[in-house]
Amino acid sequence: MSLLTIENQTADILSYLNGTIVVPGFSSVSVSSEYFFELCTDAQFKSDIGFGYVQVTDGVTNYGTVDALKYIESIPGLKDNNGLGITSTAIVTGIVPHQALDVNIVSGTSTGSTDNSTFTYSDSVQQTLGGVYNDTGAAVTSGRTAAARITEQRALHVNLRDSQGQEIVPASVSSLYSEVTNIASGITTLVQSLTVTDANKALQKIEFSGTNIAEFELVISGQTVDKKRTYFGSSLNGIFDFNSGLKLSPSDIVEIYVVHNRPFPGEFNCRIQLLEKQ
């Protein structure tokens, strides 16, 4: 059952809404719901009802001139904040042009904030963050917007980047072991030497140990960086620890020296661990 059907009582072709609705002579046309509100506020349509050129039916009752005007005026419509009916609309272009209401949202749900706009705490509106769980989703081309990828447990897939936008690749670890034996008392001895060959190396840590208490010295390119000592009654092991890495430059030479003052010869070893950042 159609909510609104127009019956042309004349032999002329009647046209409404700039030709969107056309009713041939002595025939009828059912009005699509998308044009219903606009047609009910169309001055020409109301005029033709008043002159009896058209009649209106709701699919059950065929309304005459007076009843037709009462019928279309009784159909619920939008009202403004003063309780008056809204009778004007604006053309909105798109795939198919339609009449539409120009609405300013003053409260309630908004569509979010404008990109790079000012944020005010307790006032600015933001959208809830969402994403798509799809491990086979196609890559997005430059300049296009898309949903973020999430895991099955709703966590975001994260690709770390630096302040220049370059991807941060986890550093790889490499280590080098060396030992010396039969070291006499009072003689400073080189345990290990490493020459840096590229700019992506960082010194993470150096572990050392020995059979005698001793002093271990870390030297980089001729400069003493640190010293560690072992004692009887405690561990004869130690570590030079630089956590996330001490930056090294190409041609830097990392050296570990040991000296002890015990009467018997000693054996000493160390392991240098490097980070290689991509």
Q: Which class for 168: exposed (0-12), middle (13-18), buried (19 or more C-beta within 10 A)?
A: exposed
Confidence (pLDDT) at 82: 66
Mean pLDDT, residues 2-26: 89
SS3 content of the chain, % helix, strand, coil (to 5): 10, 40, 55
Confidence (pLDDT) at 252: 95
Instruction: Look up residue 251 and give its two tokens.
Output: 């041609």
Lowest mean pLDDT of 46-50, 73-77, 241-245, name the range.
73-77
Q: Which residue has the higher pLDDT, 142 or 40?
A: 142
Confidence (pLDDT) at 165: 82
Q: Under DSSP, is residue 178 helix (H, G, I), strand (E, B) or coil?
A: strand
Confidence (pLDDT) at 196: 92
Confidence of residue 204 (pLDDT cuts 50, 70, 90): very high
**49-70 pLDDT, tens per residue?**
888 899 888 878 888 777 777 7
Can you tell me the distance from the alpha carbon of 259 to that of 147, in angstroms, rounded to the nearest whole number? 62
Percent residues over pLDDT 70 in the chain: 81
Q: What pTM did the predictor assign? A: 0.46
Residue 2 has pLDDT above 50, yes or no: no
User: In terms of DSSP bridges, do strands 253-259 and 237-247 run parallel, antiparallel, or are they unpaired?
Assistant: unpaired
Q: What is the per-residue burial (b if ≥16 Cβ within 10 Å, else e) of 90-100?
A: eeeeeeeebbe
Mean pLDDT, residues 219-241: 93
CB 90 within 8 A of CB 102: yes
Lowest mean pLDDT of 39-43, 99-103, 119-123, 261-265, name the range.
99-103
Could you give phi then psi for residue 166, rounded to 5 degrees?
Answer: -85, 140
Instruction: Look up residue 96 and give its two tokens.
Output: 């198919």
Can you tell me the distance from the alpha carbon of 171 to that of 247, in angstroms, rounded to the nearest whole number? 13
- CA 109 to chain centroid: 21
Instruction: Look up residue 110 and give its two tokens.
Output: 């908004």
Residue 151 parent element (H or E): none
Lowest mean pLDDT of 105-114, 169-178, 192-201, name the range.
105-114
| Average pLDDT along the chain | 83
Confidence (pLDDT) at 106: 63
Confidence of residue 88 (pLDDT cuts 50, 70, 90): low
Instruction: Look up residue 246 and give its two tokens.
Output: 């001490």
Lowest mean pLDDT of 61-65, 106-110, 130-134, name the range.
106-110
CB 58 within 8 A of CB 39: no
Domains and CATH numbers, the chain: 1-102 (no CATH), 172-276 (2.60.120.1340)
